[in-house]
Amino acid sequence: MSDLIAVSDLIGDIYDAALDPALWPLVLERIVQYFKAAAAVLYVQDIHLREGQFYFSYGDDPYFTRLYLEKYARINPLAPHFLVTNVGDVFRAGELIPYEELKETQFFKEWLQPQQYTEFVATTLDKSATSVAFISVTRDITQGFMDDASVERMRVIAPHLRRAVMIGKIVDLRKVEAGNFESVVNGLLDAVLLVDARRRIVYANESATRMMSDAKIIRRGKGDVLQVNDTEANSKLRDALAGSERAEPELEVRGTAISVRSTDGERYLAHVLPLTSGARRLSGAVRSAAAAVFIRKAALDLPSPLETVAKLYRLTPAELRVLYAVMEAGGVSAISSMLGISEATVKTHIQHLFEKTGTRRQTDLVKLVAGHVAPIRT
């Protein structure tokens, strides 16, 4: 029970960060403690811009963080594997590249080893056709490697991390406390409703009001009760809102985003954020609300061009790393140094890439990947 309470407290902090992004470093500190680790980072890897971005971090060395952003993001052999993960995936570094192979890479020798890092566990939070966002937690040599228990711990908090990041992208509710609630929330394209534990609507922004008038997704029922047309989603919403009133630890741990189908078949996501504990109490007090409900159209999860090519031509993990290195490093010698494999092995992998993709030159491989950038992003 004590562990459950500790996890519930951490999840509460995660949701507080959804309202106030300045709290993310504190959340990452608590996550580091939760995993008995050395450092944690909320990070975006962008293959199109060929760069990385540490949005929030804790426990990292500023010197090595700067080095990573300036140089090592481009040659990190784990990067292509990040890009082919799915949103919600939980994974360890050792599942992407065997540790003995990673130890031979330039990235390990020049960036990981000087910091005495061993392994991380991570979860993918969001992705587009060209980038991926994730949170990773890293242990050092004194703490050992991540184990199955570490993966399970990440699985517990991963849905809440993802939901907090998605809500944070919609609105910074710190502005609500400044007293301009309507002007802040009414300007959003996403539907935002404040409801009590019995689903009675105490506030709806303009987007939510239009959505209820249209009645394809939600509607205002008898007694101002929020109703979802999707029967299964309506039941899940009822359970989630009932739990927000009681503030019991196991109820916080259980919550996830709710998938909603409109009457014309389009998919939406409803994120339910309890407002009855922590810093969220202030936002709930604005309208005596138990929870905020955010409803937005589900984004189309487009694969990265590297992911598309890897799946289309059935590339092995080693071939995927070499293909990424071709794009970043270019020549055989540079690829050999970057990945810590012999030039003969590099040439063998490149030859396999030529055979599988029907190309003849390394420049053709680069053009092939670039040609698989999805033309549409919703």
Residue pLDDT, tens place only, 131-172: 788 999 999 999 999 999 999 999 999 988 888 887 766 555
The candidate with the shortest Cα–Cα distance to 17, out of 341, 374, 279, is 279
Topology of domain 305-370, per CATH? Arc Repressor Mutant, subunit A (1.10.10)
Structure tokens that stand for 170 in this block: 């919609």
| More confident of the two residues 344 and 162 | 344
Residue-wise pLDDT for 63-88, tens only, equals: 999 999 888 988 899 988 888 888 88
Flag whether pLDDT at 94 surpasses 50: yes
Please check whether the two domains, 2-170 and 305-370, share a CATH topology: no
Domain limits, the chain: 2-170, 174-297, 305-370
Contact assessment for residue 27 and residue 14, using Cβ atoms and an 8 Å cutoff: yes
Give every CB contact of residue 61 below 8 A, 6+ residues apart in sequence. Answer: 115
pLDDT in tens, 194-249: 888 788 898 888 888 999 999 999 999 998 999 999 999 888 888 877 765 554 44
Torsion from C-alpha of 23, 25, 30, 36, nearest 10 degrees: 170
**Residue 169's pLDDT is what?**
63
Q: Produce one character per residue of 184-221: b if its CB has 16 or more CB atoms within 10 Å, e if not.
A: bbeebebbbbbbbbebbbebbbebbeebbeeebbbebe
User: Would you say residue 23 has pLDDT above 60?
Assistant: yes
State which H helix or E strand residue 150 sits in: helix 148-170
Supply the pLDDT for residue 345.
94
The CATH superfamily assigned to 2-170 is GAF domain (3.30.450.40)
Contact 164, 271 (CB under 8 A): no
Average pLDDT rounded to a whole number, residues 249-258: 53
Three-state DSSP class for residue 48: coil
Give the number of other Cβ atoms within 10 Å of residue 16's Cβ.
Answer: 21
Query: What CATH homologous superfamily does 174-297 map to?
Result: PAS domain (3.30.450.20)
